[in-house]
Amino acid sequence: RHDGYQCGYCTPGQICSAVGMLDEVRKGWASHASADLQAAALDDAEISERMSGNLCRCAAYPNIVDAIREVAAHGKVEA
């Protein structure tokens, strides 16, 4: 839908990290990008910081952020 996983090389790591990141946000854990340490807002900067350890050789980072934002907002991605 968002074309976030183009070649598939980084997909397993991106998915595992995204699931872990969303769990951290649900628990209220802050990151280095969190403006408010008591309530982490899931904006693009926050998602990018939390996913920064994952490399994508296709440079699909904006698309990956879009996909994560949709999942965070709706709890799932609709086809």
Q: What is the CATH number of the domain that holds 16?
A: 1.10.150.120
> Strand locations in the chain, DSSP E?
none
Say what the pLDDT of residue 58 is.
87
Say what the pLDDT of residue 76 is.
55
Dist. CA 23–CA 58, nearest whole Å: 26
Is the pLDDT score of 35 beyond 60? yes
- Average pLDDT in the chain: 85
Q: Is residue 6 part of a domain?
A: no
Q: Is residue 5 part of a domain?
A: no
- Segment 16-41 shows an average pLDDT of 83
The single-letter DSSP state of residue 58 is: T
Is the pLDDT score of 78 beyond 60? no
Q: What percent of the chain has pLDDT over 90?
A: 33
CA 10 to chain CA mean position, Å: 13
The residue range of the domain holding 66 is 11-74
